[in-house]
């Protein structure tokens, strides 16, 4: 069984973003970049499925400039077998990435697609669902548990009311939630080995996909900041403030 895992290079989880002075975008110059945490969970899940003998090959795909190879190599250090980079300096939309993955799949014919549920930069939460739509296959989003047997995946999903379990026929798309697993650390020998794993670079032209550019970014502003309030010394003072000053009790 072949699994395709898509990964995105994003600002590191622990770095606070700043908006550029001209308010055209956020300032990512000299910022630490990492694999999107949900994508890392996706890679880990694929690796665990491979270790369990369910998945035989893991193909990691990323879309972006040459720098994304850093995150692809990281995915390979965790256990992905080979990589396909779609090289572009433009910023693709979720639909663009879904179209590229669908195009790549014409050749790859994967049984399972594992994607992070959202990227922590754009917070879109779209690509997995769009890929499933384009391929006309089921989607199990926001997964916290994945069990695969007999050409089906039983997936527990984190939804607003609690947990929902669905059974999807493969091929299918699974998008990962936070509690699906805890990714391992990449050991140094694995990091060295990952440098020698095959990584193919494809262009948009080669794949015959052009980017949609239908969402135009007009401005990026910092959010309205909350003013830090006051410290109260006791429960009595807190209740007095809530009753008389804030009038919320």
Partner 1 sequence: MMKTLIIAEHENGVIKSATLSAVTAAKALAAPMDMLVVGSNPAAAADSAAQIGGVDNVFTVENAALAYPLAELIAPLAKQLSDGYTHILVGASTFGKDLAPRIAALCGVNQLSDVIEVVDATTFKRPIYAGNAIATVKSHDATRVITVRGTAFPAADASGGNATISAADVTVGEAKVRFVRADVTESDRPELDSADIVVSGGRGVGSKEDFSKVFELADKLGAAVGASRAAVDSGFVPNDMQVGQTGKMVAPKLYIAVGISGAIQHIAGMKESGVIVAINKDEEAPIFKVADYGLVGDLHEILPELVSKI
The residues in 175-234 that bind partner 1, with binding defined as CB under 8 A, are: 177-179, 212-223, 226, 228-234
Q: How far is the CB of 65 from partner 1 (least distance, A)?
A: 20
Helix (H, G, I), strand (E, B) or coil at 1: coil
Q: Running DSSP on this structure, what letter comes out for residue 89?
A: S
Closest CA to 142 of 180, 167, 176: 176
The 73-112 contact track toward partner 1, x by CB under 8 A, reads: --------------------xxx--x--------------
Does 1 bind partner 1 (CB under 8 A)? Our answer is no
Q: Running DSSP on this structure, what letter comes out for residue 19?
A: B
Site for partner 1 in 125-164 (CB under 8 A): 125-134, 137-142, 144, 154, 157-164
Site for partner 1 in 7-26 (CB under 8 A): 11, 16-17, 19, 26
What are the Cα distances from residue 28, in Å, to 23, 84, 94, 121?
Answer: 13, 25, 20, 11
The Cα 85–Cα 203 span in angstroms is 8
Checking phi first, is residue 70 left (phi over 0); if not, alpha (psi -120 to 50) or beta?
A: alpha
201 or 232: whose CB is closer to partner 1? 232
The Cα 102–Cα 6 span in angstroms is 12
6 or 77: whose CB is closer to partner 1? 6
187 or 242: whose CB is closer to partner 1? 242
Does 124 bind partner 1 (CB under 8 A)? Our answer is yes
69 or 126: whose CB is closer to partner 1? 126
């Amino acid at each position: 069984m072949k699994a395709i895992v898509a990964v995105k290079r994003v600002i590191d989880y622990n770095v606070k973003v700043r908006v550029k002075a001209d308010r055209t975008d956020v300032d990512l110059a000299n910022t630490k970049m990492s694999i999107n945490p949900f994508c890392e969970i996706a890679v880990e899940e694929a690796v665990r499925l491979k270790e369990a003998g369910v998945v035989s090959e893991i193909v990691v795909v990323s879309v972006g400039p040459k720098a994304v190879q850093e995150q692809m190599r990281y995915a390979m250090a965790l256990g992905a077998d080979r990589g396909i980079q779609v090289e572009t300096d433009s910023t693709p939309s979720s639909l663009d990435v879904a179209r590229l993955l669908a195009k790549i799949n014409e050749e790859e014919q994967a049984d399972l697609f594992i994607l992070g549920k959202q990227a922590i930069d754009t917070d879109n939460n779209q690509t997995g669902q769009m890929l499933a739509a384009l391929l006309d296959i089921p989607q199990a989003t926001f997964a916290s548990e994945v069990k695969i047997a007999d050409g089906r995946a039983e997936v527990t999903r984190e939804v607003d009311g609690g947990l929902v379990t669905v059974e999807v026929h493969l091929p299918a798309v699974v998008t990962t939630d936070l509690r699906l697993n805890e990714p391992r650390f990449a050991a140094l020998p694995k990091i060295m080995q990952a440098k020698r794993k095959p990584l193919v670079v494809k262009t948009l032209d080669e794949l015959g996909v052009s980017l949609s550019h239908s969402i135009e970014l007009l401005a990026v502003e910092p959010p309205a900041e909350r003013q830090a309030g006051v410290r109260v010394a006791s429960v009595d003072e807190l209740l007095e403030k809530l009753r008389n000053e804030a009038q919320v009790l």
